[in-house]
Amino acid sequence: MKRKAELKMPTTSQLEAELKRERHKHRYHSVLRSTIYILVVVAAVAILVATLWLPVLQISGNSMTPTIQNGEIVFSVKYSDMEPGDIIAFYYNNKILVKRVICGAGDWVDIDEDGTVYVNGDELKEPYLTEKALGDCDIELPYQVPDGKIFVMGDHRSTSVDSRNTVIGCVAQEQIVGRISFRVWPLNRFGAVR
């Protein structure tokens, strides 16, 4: 007759070690699950904030140089009161354009041959420009901005296509994405945009 193999009972220390391992495994899964939930919620909130209040834009083109350059990444803030001098982003033909507000509804704009801009007969002070130019202008000057619209121009006046051209025209309030407020990339130009 063969002897049946004896069943060995685990020792107390072996039971304690196994219990400790199971508790650790359960705690690990719980922490992992809660971390994933937190990351999903944070990502959803970040997307919501970026979409509704602080759209992030990458600049494409040179119409706003030297203020904002091609490839830079900026934040825009959604609000409706645009002042002359503000830089705004707006929708145009499924694209987002970035230009500077010159004046609002009812104002008269005039631009002379050397590119000096006059609003309601007063010369506009534009310290942000490196050069003035009449640029691509096919509107009849002086020009009165229609109700509910704003007149915008790029800072690189010789190349910018903006409200001076009937292709773009004046910008309606519902087209506005927001006011460009902050540059985040490149890091050497990190800071407020003016």
Which are the catalytic amino acids? 63, 99
CA angle, corner 17, sides to 15 and 21, nearest 5? 115
How many whole angstroms separate alpha carbon 63 and alpha carbon 61? 6
- The per-residue b/e assignment along 77-116, b for 16 or more CB within 10 angstroms, e otherwise, is eeeeebeeebbbbbeeeeebbbbbbbbbeeeebebeeebe
> Torsions phi, psi of 18, nearest 5?
-65, -40
Among residues 150, 186, 141, the alpha carbon closest in space to that of 171 is found at 150
How many whole angstroms separate alpha carbon 95 and alpha carbon 147? 24
How many whole angstroms separate alpha carbon 98 and alpha carbon 57? 10
Instruction: Find out whether 142 and 108 touch, Cβ atoms under 8 Å.
Output: yes
